[in-house]
Amino acid sequence: MATPSPTPFDPRSLTEPVDRNAVREYTRQHRTAGTGFGSAAAVIPIIIGIFVVVTFGSVFVSVAASIIGAFASFGSGDGGASVIFSVIASFLPILVMGGVIAAIAIVFTRGALGRSERRYRLDRFAAANGMSYVPALQNPALPGMIFGTGSSRSSTDLVRGTEPRFVEFANYQYTTGSGKNRTTHRWGYVAIKLDVPLPNIVLDATSNNGLFGSNLPTTFDKDQRLSLEGDFDRYFALYCPEGYEQDALYLFTPDIMARFIDHAAALDVEIVDDWLFLYGKREFSSLDPATWAWLFSVVGALLDKFAQWARWRDERLHADAAPALAASAPASAPDAPTAVAFAPPAAALRPPPGVALSGRRLKRGISWPAIVVFALVVLFWFGTQFGVFDLFFGSIFRS
Q: What is the pLDDT of residues 202-233, one digit of tens each?
A: 999 999 998 878 999 999 999 999 999 889 99
pLDDT of 372 > 80? The answer is no
- Helix 388-398 vs helix 368-385: crossing angle, to nearest 10: 70
**H or E segment at 226?**
strand 225-226
Burial-class residue 208 by CB neighbours within 10 Å (0-12, 13-18, 19+).
Answer: middle
Residues 147, 270: Cα–Cα separation, whole Å: 12
Model pLDDT, residue 79: 54
- 284 with 298: CB under 8 angstroms? no
- 204 with 281: CB under 8 angstroms? no
Residues 134, 143: Cα–Cα separation, whole Å: 20
For residue 246, which of 314, 296, 295 has the smallest C-alpha distance? 314
pLDDT of 369 > 90? The answer is no
Residue 342, amino acid: F
Residues 34, 29: Cα–Cα separation, whole Å: 9
Per DSSP, 179 falls in state G
Measured from the Cβ of residue 370, the count of other Cβ atoms closer than 10 Å reads 12
pLDDT of 132 > 70? The answer is yes
Could you read off the pLDDT of 17-59 as tens digits, one per residue? 999 999 999 999 887 766 655 544 445 555 555 665 565 556 5
pLDDT of 344 > 60? The answer is no
pLDDT of 355 > 60? The answer is yes
| pTM for this predicted structure | 0.73
Per DSSP, 208 falls in state T
Q: What are the angstrom distances between the C-alpha of 153 and each of 148, 173, 184, 191?
A: 9, 6, 10, 16
Q: Is the peptide bond before 164 cis (omega within 30 degrees of 0)?
A: yes
SS3 383: helix
Residue 336, amino acid: A
- Would you give the end-to-end CA distance of the chain in angstroms? 74
The string of DSSP codes covering 240-278 is --TT-HHHHHHHS-HHHHHHHHHHHTTSEEEEEEEEEEE
Model pLDDT, residue 318: 72
SS3 328: helix
For residue 305, which of 253, 240, 229 has the smallest C-alpha distance? 253
SS3 236: strand
**β-strands 167-176, 225-226 pairing:** unpaired
**H or E segment at 42?**
helix 40-75
* Averaged pLDDT for residues 356-362: 96
Residues 198, 149: Cα–Cα separation, whole Å: 22
Decide which of 387 and 315 is more confident. Answer: 315
Least confident of 180-194, 265-279, 378-392: 378-392
| Size (the chain), residues | 399
SS3 128: helix
Residues 310, 274: Cα–Cα separation, whole Å: 10
* Averaged pLDDT for residues 259-269: 96
Could you read off the pLDDT of 237-261 as tens digits, one per residue? 999 999 999 999 999 999 999 999 9
> Mean pLDDT across the chain, nearest whole number?
80
**H or E segment at 292?**
helix 289-303
* Averaged pLDDT for residues 91-108: 56
Model pLDDT, residue 114: 79
Decide which of 68 and 306 is more confident. Answer: 306
pLDDT of 368 > 60? The answer is no
Model pLDDT, residue 326: 54
**β-strands 151-161, 167-176 pairing:** antiparallel
- Strands (DSSP E) contained in the chain are 132-138, 151-161, 167-176, 183-205, 225-226, 236-239, 268-280
Burial-class residue 237 by CB neighbours within 10 Å (0-12, 13-18, 19+).
Answer: buried
For residue 137, which of 91, 95, 170, 181 has the smallest C-alpha distance? 170
Model pLDDT, residue 350: 80
What percent of the chain shows pLDDT beyond 70?
62
Q: What are the angstrom distances between the C-alpha of 122 and each of 156, 160, 163, 168, 286?
A: 11, 11, 19, 13, 8
